[in-house]
C-alpha cells in the first residue's frame, strides 16, 4: 500500500526471491523522532542475513507498530511516517485501511527470476532487474553467487537495467570449467556473456575475486567499461587470508563452515544457520568443490602490485572496503593512485554489499552510473 498524502508506511521489505518473512530485531528510532530520507529505522533479519530498513520519506515516526522479536510477512506494516500536522485520527485510519487492504508479498509475486544462457559451452545463470540506461553488471566473489546482491541490485535497478551473473563453477551456473585456465579466461567468458546480451558497455561492480576479474577486463578491454566499482577487491596486491581459503575448502560440517563464514562479517551474529547450510549444500554439488579449488589456484596466480594492477586503467575506478575486513587488508588512500576514489566503511567486514548495502548503493550511484 503506497503512502496517502503526507502519511507513508514502513513495511517489511522483500529481499531476494525466496524471502517470505522477516524478524524485527531492533528499532533505531523512537516514536516522535524526526526523520530524513536515508535514516536507518529498523533492523530486519531474514533466514540468510540481517539488514536495515531506511526511511524513504522525511517526517516523523508517528507509529512503531512492529514489535522487536516478532516475525512479520513481507509487506506487513511495522511503522508509519507522517508530518506533525497530520492528526492522530488520520494515522489510526491509515493503519486500519492498510490492515484491511494489504496482502503479504508471496514468493510467487517476487518479480524477476533467474535465467540461463549458454556462452561458449558454459551454462550461466543470471538475473535481470530494471530497464534503460547504461547497464550495470554485478560480479560476485569466491564461493558467492548472484544472491549476494539481493540488497544492491533492486536499488540500482530503479534507474537502469542491472544484471547479476553467477560465475562458472558457482551458484546455478555449470560447474565444468573446461577451457578456463585462469582469471583472464573468466573475463573473456564475461565479455562473451555481454556480447550474447548485446551489451556494448557496462558499469562493472565486482566483489573480492570478481574484482580481480574486473581489473583484468579494465586493463585489456577498458572501452567496454563505463566505470569500475571494486568491493573488498582481490587483484590489488593484497594477499588473501590463507586461513579463510583453507578453512573454506576443508569445512565439511556446520560447525566448521560457521567458523569460516564468520570471518566474512564484522558482526558474526549475522551468520545464520541457513547461510551455513546453503554453503555446505553448494560444496556438495557435483563439481562444485573442484571448481572452487581451481578458482583458488587462479587467485594464487595473481601477483601484481597495486601499481601494476592499475597501470593503464583509464576507466574511472572507485574502491569500497570494510574497515574490519579480515580476508583482504584494506588499502589506504596513500597506497592507491590519487585518481582512485576510496571509501572505507566502519563496522564492516569483507561483505560491504550485504553489511552496508545502502552506503554501497549510494557510492555506486554517485560515482559512475549515468545515462
Among 77, 109, 141, identify where a domain stops.
109
* Domain containing residue 86: CATH number: 2.40.50.100
Q: Is residue 179 part of a domain?
A: yes
Q: Are 74 and 46 in contact (CB under 8 A)?
A: no
Tell me if 29 is assigned to some domain. yes
CB-CB contact of 310 with 317 (8 Å): yes
Cell of 267: 558482526
- Looking at the domain assignment, is residue 182 inside a domain? yes
If asked whether residues 79 and 144 sit together in one domain, one would say no
| Distance (Å, whole) CA 260 – CA 263 | 6
> Which of residues 72, 89, 109 is at a domain's end?
109
Antiparallel, parallel or unpaired: β 59-64 and 34-35: antiparallel
3 state DSSP class of 137: strand
Tens of pLDDT, residue by residue over 180-219, are 999 999 999 999 999 999 999 999 999 999 999 999 999 9
pLDDT tens for 123-132 read 999 999 999 9
Are residue 271 and residue 339 in the same domain, yes or no? yes
Percent of the chain with pLDDT over 90: 71
Cell 567468458 belongs to residue: 189
Does residue 1 sit within a domain? no
CA 182, CA 168: separation in Å to the nearest integer? 12
Contact 278, 288 (CB under 8 A): no
The domain containing residue 151 runs over which residues? 115-367
User: Contact at 8 Å (CB) between 21 and 72?
Assistant: yes
Residues 218 and 170 in one domain: yes
Tens of pLDDT, residue by residue over 68-84, are 988 988 888 999 999 99
Q: Give dist(CA 21, CA 73) in Å, integer.
A: 4
Give the contacts of 174 (CB within 8 A, at least 6 positions apart): 122, 123, 124, 168
Number of domains in the chain: 2
Do the domain assignments include residue 2? no
Listed residues 109, 140, 165: the one ending a domain: 109
- Asked whether residue 172 carries a pLDDT value surpassing 70, the answer given is yes
Residue 281 belongs to a domain: yes
Decide: 346 and 359 in contact? Cβ < 8 Å: no
Amino acid at each position: 500500500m503506497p503512502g496517502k498524502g503526507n502519511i507513508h508506511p514502513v513495511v517489511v521489505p522483500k529481499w531476494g526471491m525466496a524471502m517470505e518473512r522477516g524478524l524485527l530485531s531492533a528499532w533505531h528510532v523512537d516514536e516522535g523522532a524526526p526523520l530524513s530520507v536515508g535514516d536507518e529505522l529498523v533492523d530486519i533479519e531474514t533466514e540468510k542475513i540481517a539488514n536495515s530498513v531506511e526511511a524513504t520519506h522525511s517526517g516523523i515516526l508517528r507509529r512503531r507498530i512492529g514489535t522487536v522479536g516478532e516475525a512479520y510477512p513481507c509487506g506487513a506494516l511495522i511503522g508509519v511516517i507522517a508530518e506533525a500536522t497530520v492528526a492522530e485520527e488520520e494515522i489510526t485510519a491509515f493503519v486500519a485501511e492498510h490492515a484491511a487492504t494489504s496482502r503479504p508479498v508471496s514468493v510467487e509475486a517476487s518479480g524477476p527470476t533467474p535465467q540461463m544462457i549458454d556462452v561458449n559451452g558454459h551454462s550461466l545463470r543470471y538475473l535481470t532487474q530494471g530497464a534503460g540506461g547504461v547497464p550495470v553488471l554485478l560480479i560476485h566473489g569466491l564461493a558467492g553467487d548472484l544472491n549476494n546482491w539481493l540488497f544492491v541490485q533492486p536499488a540500482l535497478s530503479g534507474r537502469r537495467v542491472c544484471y547479476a551473473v553467477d560465475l562458472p563453477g558457482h551458484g546455478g551456473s555449470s560447474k565444468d570449467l573446461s577451457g578456463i585456465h585462469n582469471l583472464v579466461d573468466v573475463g573473456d567468458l564475461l565479455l562473451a556473456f555481454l556480447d550474447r546480451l548485446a551489451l556494448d558497455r557496462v558499469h562493472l561492480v565486482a566483489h573480492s575475486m570478481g574484482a580481480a576479474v574486473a581489473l583484468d577486463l579494465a586493463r585489456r578491454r577498458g572501452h567496454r567499461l563505463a566505470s569500475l566499482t571494486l568491493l573488498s577487491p582481490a587483484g590489488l596486491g593484497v594477499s588473501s587470508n590463507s586461513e579463510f581459503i583453507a578453512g573454506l575448502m576443508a569445512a565439511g560440517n556446520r560447525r566448521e563452515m560457521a567458523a569460516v563464514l564468520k570471518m566474512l562479517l564484522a558482526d558474526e551474529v549475522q551468520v545464520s544457520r541457513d547461510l551455513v547450510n546453503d554453503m555446505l549444500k553448494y560444496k556438495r554439488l557435483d563439481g562444485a568443490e573442484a571448481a572452487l579449488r581451481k578458482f583458488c589456484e587462479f587467485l594464487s596466480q595473481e601477483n601484481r602490485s597495486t601499481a601494476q594492477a592499475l597501470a593503464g586503467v583509464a576507466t574511472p575506478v572507485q574502491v569500497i572496503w570494510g574497515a574490519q575486513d579480515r580476508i583482504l587488508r584494506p588499502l589506504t588512500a596513500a597506497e592507491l593512485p590519487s585518481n582512485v576514489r576510496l571509501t572505507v566503511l566502519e563496522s564492516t567486514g569483507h561483505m560491504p554489499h550485504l553489511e552496508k548495502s545502502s552506503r554501497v548503493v549510494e557510492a555506486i550511484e554517485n560515482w559512475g552510473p549515468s545515462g
